[in-house]
Amino acid sequence: MPKTKPLSIGLIGAGRIGSFHGETVARRLVDADLVAIADPAPGAASKLAEKLDVDAVYTDIADFLAHPGLDGVIIATPARFHTNVLVQAAEAGKAIFCEKPMALTLEEADRAVAAARAAGVPLQVGFNRRWDQAFAEGRAAIDAGKIGTPQLIRSLTRDPGPFGADPDKIPLWTIFYETLIHDFDTLLWLNPGARPVEVYAAADALVRPDSRSKGFLDTAVVTIRFDNGSVAVAEANFSALYGYDIRGEVFGSGGMVTMGDVRRSSMTLFDAEGVSNDTWRRDTDHFIHGYTAQLASFVRTIRSGDISGSPSGADARNALAVALACIESVKTKTVVSIA
Ligand SMILES: NC(=O)c1ccc[n+]([C@@H]2O[C@H](COP(=O)([O-])OP(=O)(O)OC[C@H]3O[C@@H](n4cnc5c(N)ncnc54)[C@H](O)[C@@H]3O)[C@@H](O)[C@H]2O)c1
C-alpha cells in the first residue's frame, strides 16, 4: 500500500514558542513536515530553518502563504498580530493553529472566527493544558460523572522564578491576556456546559513593586461565578522560585479531581539533607507531550476536517471574555458581569 504523504506545515513566528513548535513538527510528528518559516525579523526564520533543515524562509506573510502546497500554518507571533495574520491565513485557505490569545478584543475574536468559518478552514487555539495527561484524565473523570456536580474549581499558573524579564518590555495586562488565559480556558473546559457570569479580579506587582506605577502586574487572583452555581478561582504569579507550577482541581458533590504536579517525576531523593524532588523549570519541558499531542491533533484535524475535541476559536473567545472582564474588574475594583 502506498505511504500517505506527510502534510506540509508552515510556521509564522520563529521566536521562543514558534521555534519549539517548529521543532515539534520537524522532529516529533510523523505525519507532517515543516516546509516553510516566516518571520519579519531579519535572520530569525533562516536561523531556525537551518537548524531544522527547512528550505523556504520568508519575511513577508503574503509571500509565505503563497508557498506551494501548504496544508496548514502555525501562528506563533506576538499576541497583538494574531488576528490579522489568522485572517490572512484563512483567506488563503490554510488550516490554522493559533497560539493563545487568539485575539485581544471580542471584535477581533469574532473577526477571526468568522474568517475561518467563511473559508471553511479548521481553527485550533493553543490551549495546551487540555492535552496534558493529568488534565485530560481529570476532564474524563468529570465527563464520567465521578465527581458529581462541580462546586469549587481552581486553576493556577506560577511561572518559574527568579523573574528575569524587563517589565517595560511586557505589554500591559499580560497576566490576564497571556498567562491566566490558560487558566480561564481550563476552568471553562473543566466545567462543561456552564457559562461564566461574573468575575472579580485583584492584581498587583509583588514581584516587581518598582514597576507597579507603570501598570505592570505580576500577581493576580480571580474569582469566577458560573451559571450552574459553581465558583472558580484562578491565580498567577510570575516568579515561583521552586519551579514551573501548574495545577488544577475540581471539587464536586461526589468527590474531587486534582491535576498537575510541580515535581518532575516520582523520583525522590533521600539523603543527609532530607527528602527532595527536582521540579519543572520550563513550560517546554513540563508540557512537551501535551504540546506535541496538540499539534498531532491539529494534523489529524487537517486530514479529517473534524475539529471537535480541540480548543476552537469560540473557546478562545470565551476565555478572552473572562480576561477582559478581569481587566475591567482591576480597573474599577468591582465585580464585573460577563454578557
Ligand atoms: N501555549 C503556551 O504555553 C505558550 C508559551 C509561550 C508563548 N505562547 C504564546 O505564543 C506567542 C509568541 O510568544 P513567544 O514567547 O514565542 O514570542 P517571541 O517574542 O519569542 O517570538 C515572536 C516571534 O514572532 C515574530 N513576529 C513578529 N511579528 C510577526 C508577524 N507579523 N508575522 C510573523 N512573525 C512575527 C518575531 O520577530 C518573533 O521572532 C504569544 O502569543 C504567547 O502568548 C504560548
**Which residue among 121, 150, 165 closes a domain?**
121
pLDDT at 339: 81
The answer as to whether 26 is a domain residue is: yes
Closest Cα partner for 281 from 161, 183, 182? 161
Ligand 1 centre and the CA of 309: distance in Å?
25
Q: What is the mean pLDDT of the chain?
A: 97
Which residue is associated with the grid cell 539523603? 271
Is residue 2 very low, low, confident or very high in pLDDT (cuts 50, 70, 90)? low
Does residue 27 contact residue 6 with C-beta atoms inside 8 Å?
no
Are 107 and 136 members of one domain?
no
pLDDT tens readout for residues 186-195: 999 999 999 9
- Which of 121, 144, 168 terminates a domain? The answer is 121
Over the stretch 204-250, which tens digit does the pLDDT of each residue have?
A: 999 999 999 999 999 999 999 999 999 999 999 999 999 999 999 99
What is the residue with the minimal CA distance to atom 21 of ligand 1?
Answer: 15
Residues 150, 257, single domain; the answer is: yes
pTM exceeds cut of 0.85: yes
**Structure confidence at residue 15 as a pLDDT band (50, 70, 90):** very high
Contact at 8 Å (CB) between 309 and 298? no
| Same domain (yes/no): 103, 163 | no
Q: Which atom of ligand 1 is nearest to the CA of 61?
A: 32
Same domain, 183 and 270: yes
CATH code assigned at 163: 3.30.360.10
Q: What is the pLDDT of residues 273-324, one digit of tens each?
A: 999 999 999 999 999 999 999 999 999 999 999 999 899 999 999 999 999 9
pLDDT tens-digit map of 132-159: 999 999 999 999 999 999 999 999 999 9
HSE, CB side, 13 Å, CA atoms: give it for residue 273.
Answer: 5
Residues 150 and 235 occupy one common structural domain: yes
If one residue of 21, 99, 169 were mutated to test the ligand 1 pocket, choosing by the most ligand atoms within 8 A of its CB, it would be: 99
Ligand 1 atom with least separation from CA of 81: 31
Residue 157 lies in a domain: yes
3-state secondary structure the chain: CCCCCCEEEEEECCCHHHHHHHHHHHHHCCCEEEEEEECCCCCHHHHHHHHHCCCEEECCHHHHHCCCCCCEEEECCCHHHHHHHHHHHHHCCCEEEECCCCCCCHHHHHHHHHHHHHHCCCEEECCHHHHCHHHHHHHHHHHCCCCCCEEEEEEEEEEECCCCCCHHHCCCCHHHHHHHHHHHHHHHHCCCCCCEEEEEEEEECCCCHHHHHHCCCCEEEEEEEECCCCEEEEEEEEEECCCCEEEEEEEECCEEEEECCCECCCCCEEECCEEECCECCCHHHHCHHHHHHHHHHHHHHHHHCCCCCCCEHHHHHHHHHHHHHHHHHHHHCCCEECC
75-115 tens-digit pLDDT: 999 999 999 999 999 999 999 999 999 999 999 999 999 99
- Separation of 229 CA from ligand 1 center, angstroms? 37
Amino acid code (one letter) for 1:
M
Looking at residue 89, which CATH number applies to its domain? Answer: 3.40.50.720
Ligand 1 atom with minimal separation from the 287 CA: 3
| pLDDT for the residue numbered 135 | 98
> Do 153 and 136 share a domain, yes or no?
yes
Residues 93 and 159 in one domain: no
Express as a percent the part of the chain with pLDDT over 90: 98
Query: Ligand 1 atom closest to Cα of 20?
Result: 16
> Does the residue 301 lie in any domain?
no
Is 136 among the domain residues? Answer: yes
Point out the ligand 1 atom lying closest to the alpha carbon of residue 84.
Answer: 31
Pocket test for ligand 1, best of 77, 102, 166 (most atoms within 8 A of CB): 77
pLDDT band at residue 1, thresholds of 50, 70 and 90?
low
Print the domain residue range for 325. Answer: 129-291+318-337
Mutate to test the pocket of ligand 1, among 19, 20, 21, 39 (most ligand atoms within 8 A of CB): 39
Give nearest CA residue, ligand 1 atom 7.
17
Question: Is 296 within a domain?
Answer: no
What pLDDT digit, counting tens, does each position of 172-186 carry?
A: 999 999 999 999 999
Is residue 207 in some structural domain?
Answer: yes
* Total number of domains constituting the chain: 2
- pLDDT, mean of residues 119-126: 98
Residue 28 has pLDDT above 90, yes or no: yes
Residues 325 and 195 in one domain: yes
Closest ligand 1 atom to Cα of 181: 43
Final residue of a structural domain among 80, 98, 121: 121
Ligand 1 site: residues with CB under 6 angstroms? 12-18, 38-41, 44, 61, 76-79, 81, 85, 99-100, 126, 128, 178, 283
Evaluate whether residue 265 is within a structural domain: yes
Are residues 249 and 282 part of one domain? yes
Question: Does the pLDDT at position 67 exceed 70?
Answer: yes
203 inside domain:
yes
pLDDT, position 4: 86
* Mutation choice for ligand 1 from 12, 17, 298, CB with most ligand atoms inside 8 A: 17
Distance 200 CA to ligand 1 centre (A): 29
